[in-house]
Amino acid sequence: MDRLDYLIVGSGLYGATFAHLAHKAGKRCLVIDKRPHLGGNVYCEDVEGIHVHKYGAHIFHTSNKEVWDFVNSIVPFNRYTNSPVANYHGELYNLPFNMNTFHQMWGVNTPEEAQAKIEEQRAEAKETMVAAGVAEPRNLEEQALLLVGRDIYEKLVKGYTEKQWGRACTDLPAFIIKRLPVRFVYDNNYFNDKYQGIPEGGYNKLIDGLLEGIETRTDTDFFANREYWESIADKIVFTGKIDEFYGYRFGKLEYRTVRFENEILPCPNYQGNAVINYTARDVPYTRVIEHKHFESFGQAVYDNPCTVISREYSTEWKDGMEPFYPVNDEKNNSLYLKYKALADAESNVIFGGRLAEYKYYDMAPIVDRVLNLWK
């Protein structure tokens, strides 16, 4: 094999975007991935003609025109708009908290009525705290009650948050919820960003487009043959786990993960929306995703007589599970900084992406970071 300019470890959005730009700049690249497919966490599996987001629902959103134009130059994006619905013991509420939610919760019709209701409940929370001699919220529950009042907290925040973190809201620190945005308009669009959507034809089209003309190898773990891979390239772009790169010499970083339970159902439209959050504590899963709604709209939903859903269970991470969300607490952050100090001293390795930087990134910021590297 001719010597490579870049060996790119990981074919997720970071690795694929890097490879694309390097290839365009005339560099010789090889992309390897230990999974049996390309695309990292945005990979979709074709099940009954439906693109199933195998590693969790992915919705691209950004206000950055350069990023939006770039991804659309690879594949056009559709007009999917994320507007999740919350199910609390069979009662349905629109999210994010907006006039539709307040109407469903209290029967109020105007912003003035909704504001008055929220203010009344926030004042109650404040009084309770003052009566207990508490000046600052001591935990997430007190913080949320101060921000949105009892009804929204109990029906839409408490159970969902406890399932996500695996702990009671009274045992979680207040700082986790700095804001709980409320909108006094009838607007169910979850994101405030200017652009959002899903690649037409699915995320695999985006990854295949980025990697067009570039050599790739799946089922190939960098660590299984590290010396060889290090010997064939001038530079390595590493998007795997930074602690693994250094043989876990300071200890292992921790993550939270999500377990997915997928089901094919013999009906064309199971829940009428891509995302339904189950906000009651006694329902074990946090969300149900119905994948076809990301890419089929209106009557087209009925073109396929079946559907695929995924129930999501937020889970403690153990070795062998997918490392999804870094736990950026003090212990893990200081451990990461030890690894980062080693990484900063490397001259031939670029560490990038969510695992190598031990930081949660949405997709658009990942693309933005790589575009900036190549400017």
Ligand X SMILES: Cc1cc2nc3c(=O)[nH]c(=O)nc-3n(C[C@H](O)[C@H](O)[C@H](O)COP(=O)(O)OP(=O)(O)OC[C@H]3O[C@@H](n4cnc5c(N)ncnc54)[C@H](O)[C@@H]3O)c2cc1C
Binding site for ligand X (CB under 6 A): 9-15, 32-35, 40-42, 55-60, 221-223, 239-240, 258, 324, 353-355, 361-364, 366
In the complex, minimum distance from the CB of residue 131 to ligand X, in angstroms, rounded to a whole number? 41
In the set 287, 339, 358, 368, the catalytic residue is 287
Neighbour-count burial for 214-240, b at 16+ CB within 10 Å, e otherwise: bebeeebebeeeeeebeeebebbbbbb
Catalytic site includes residue 183? yes
The pairing of beta strand 44-47 with beta strand 233-238:
unpaired
Catalytic site includes residue 91? no
Name the packing angle between helices 140-148 and 158-165 (round to 10°).
150
In the set 138, 256, 311, 369, the catalytic residue is 256
- Nearer to ligand X among residue 13 and residue 75 (C-beta): 13
Neighbour-count burial for 41-67, b at 16+ CB within 10 Å, e otherwise: bbbbbeeeebbbbbbbbbbbbbebeeb
In the complex, minimum distance from the CB of residue 300 to ligand X, in angstroms, rounded to a whole number? 22
- Nearer to ligand X among residue 72 and residue 104 (C-beta): 72
- Nearer to ligand X among residue 106 and residue 313 (C-beta): 313
Catalytic site includes residue 360? yes
| Spatial contact of 291 and 274, defined as CB atoms under 8 Å apart | yes
- Nearer to ligand X among residue 4 and residue 42 (C-beta): 42
In the set 88, 93, 183, 270, the catalytic residue is 183
In the complex, minimum distance from the CB of residue 17 to ligand X, in angstroms, rounded to a whole number? 8
In the complex, minimum distance from the CB of residue 239 to ligand X, in angstroms, rounded to a whole number? 5
- Nearer to ligand X among residue 98 and residue 310 (C-beta): 310
Catalytic site includes residue 171? no
Residues 6 or more apart whose CB falls under 8 angstroms from that of 255 comprise 317, 321, 323, 324, 325, 326, 327
Peptide bond into 96 cis (omega under 30): yes
Catalytic site includes residue 362? yes
Give dist(CA 177, CA 198) in Å, integer: 28
Catalytic site includes residue 311? no
Catalytic site includes residue 256? yes
In the set 179, 249, 330, 344, the catalytic residue is 179
In the complex, minimum distance from the CB of residue 316 to ligand X, in angstroms, rounded to a whole number? 15
Positions marked catalytic = 179, 183, 256, 287, 312, 360, 362
